[in-house]
Amino acid sequence: MFRNVAELVALAEKDSIKIAEVMIRQEVEVSGRSREEVIAQMDHHLAVMERAVERGLEGVVSRSGLTGGDAVRMQRYIEGGRFLSGETILDAVSKAMATNEVNAAMGVICATPTAGAAGVVPGTLFAVKEKLRPTRMEMIEFLFTAGAFGYIVANNASISGAAGGCQAEVGSAAGMAAAALVELAGGTPAQAAEAMAIALKNMLGLVCDPVAGLVEVPCVKRNAMGAANAMIAADMALAGIKSRIPCDEVIEAMYRIGAAMPVALKETAQGGLAATPTGRAIAARIFGASAASK
């Protein structure tokens, strides 16, 4: 059993195995299920993620009408070829939004680690698919690697916006994705941990302030930026750049920041963007004036 990132990396290095393999072995041990069953379940979750992105790229609209269509808009922009950043990173942004738009429209998604942050991990995976040409098993391993880092955050800090703000949701997801990207690209376990640290460091302090309490504004665009953050953090780690603050201490810092964050900024729709004039007007339109005044 690993309890923190240092132990996870040490376990992988000791046996010269991937972080994904450490997570698979632990899951088999803890669940009492066979290796085949555990891998088959992750394969199923991967298939759910694929379908969600496909559906989002066909175009969806939420019940409130607040979100939908931006994933498609970004794909058209990429096809135009006149983008400023890069095709792979914008594809990750588009596919992250696709998943969250489907989530907002009451479609089927796989929470990673939560429903509100479900876009980042699949968005980055499907964006690098064309460049890295992973096998099905390597894509499944990507999810186990992401899961291993998320498991540490969930047990040592939080993955809940109500407990830790958006840094705990999209921040955790960005760190998980960055680490998994590094391993998929052939980086070492230590580099995966550096990528997680770099991604999460840049999400620290991010509040959870959903307009009208809905998992839509700004959640869809926060997933877009979480995906972009993960891609850059992975590239930085693969370039040999290290985080001066070790990954476990970044996670600890995230926990402390979450605990110090005011309740109004932790998924209560009382502060931040939710409390702006436009945010309140949207809430009033959806729920009636009484709910918006609270």
Binding site for other proteins (CB under 8 A): 23, 26-27, 30-32, 41-42, 44-45, 48, 62-64, 102-116, 118, 121, 143-144, 146-148, 150-151, 154-155, 159-160, 162-163, 176, 212-216, 268-269, 286-287, 291, 294
Which residue type occupies 126?
F
CB of 126 to other proteins, least distance (A): 15
Cβ nearer to other proteins, comparing 189 with 235: 189
d(CA 239, CA 172): 22
d(CA 210, CA 262): 15
In this structure, the number of other CB atoms found within 10 A of the CB of residue 241 comes to: 13
Q: Which H or E run contains 73?
A: helix 70-80
CB of 273 to other proteins, least distance (A): 15
The rounded radius of gyration (Å) of the Cα atoms in the chain is: 19
Cβ nearer to other proteins, comparing 60 with 236: 60
> Are the CB atoms for 211 and 258 separated by under 8 Å?
no
d(CA 289, CA 72): 33
Cβ nearer to other proteins, comparing 77 with 288: 288
CB of 144 to other proteins, least distance (A): 6
Cβ nearer to other proteins, comparing 180 with 236: 180
3-state secondary structure of 266: strand
CB of 188 to other proteins, least distance (A): 21
Cβ nearer to other proteins, comparing 206 with 269: 269
Our measurement of the distance from residue 274's CA atom to the centroid of its chain's CA atoms, rounded to an integer in Å, reads 22
CB of 18 to other proteins, least distance (A): 14
CB of 79 to other proteins, least distance (A): 27
Q: Find where tokens 């005044």 sit.
A: 293
Cβ nearer to other proteins, comparing 101 with 235: 101
d(CA 1, CA 40): 22
Taking the alpha carbons of 241, 227, 127, 153 in that order, is the dihedral positive or negative?
A: positive
